[in-house]
Amino acid sequence: MMKKSKLITKAWKQMSSRVAKHKAAAEEPHIPHDVPKGHLVVYVGKEEESYKRFVIKITLLHDPIIRALLDQSKDEVYDDFTSGDSKLCISCDETLFLEVLQNASPRNSWS
């Protein structure tokens, strides 16, 4: 039969191990499972409550209209980025964004 101190030590080590694993997992960047390689998530909408999530190809970031929308949105949502929220947001009407995606060059297709 183990002494009480050995049982406490064993329990402490097990708890420490679980905390360390949880801490390591929390520090790793979170990549959503539904985002394929070569794609990224952007949130589009006029207000944060109505943002719609889009998964687009990274190559679309080279499209001049997408870049213009991002530059325009940068000033509007700057406070969100400084608050620790790392969402890529485009502040425009969803219909306009869909039109931009449809007119983007064919090599920059979206999904």
Pairing verdict, β 52-57 and 39-44: antiparallel
Instruction: State the Cα–Cα distance between residues 41 and 61, nearest whole angstrom.
Output: 12
Q: How far is CA 109 from CA 34, 58, 59, in A?
A: 18, 10, 8
Instruction: State the Cα–Cα distance between residues 16 and 39, nearest whole angstrom.
Output: 37
Kindly state the tokens that stand for 11: 């329990």
Question: At residue 7, does pLDDT exceed 60?
Answer: yes
Question: What pLDDT is stored for residue 54 in this prediction?
Answer: 93
Please report the beta strands in the chain, taking only residues with DSSP state E, as ranges in sequence order. Answer: 39-44, 52-57, 89-90
The model's confidence at residue 108, banded by pLDDT at 50, 70 and 90, is very low
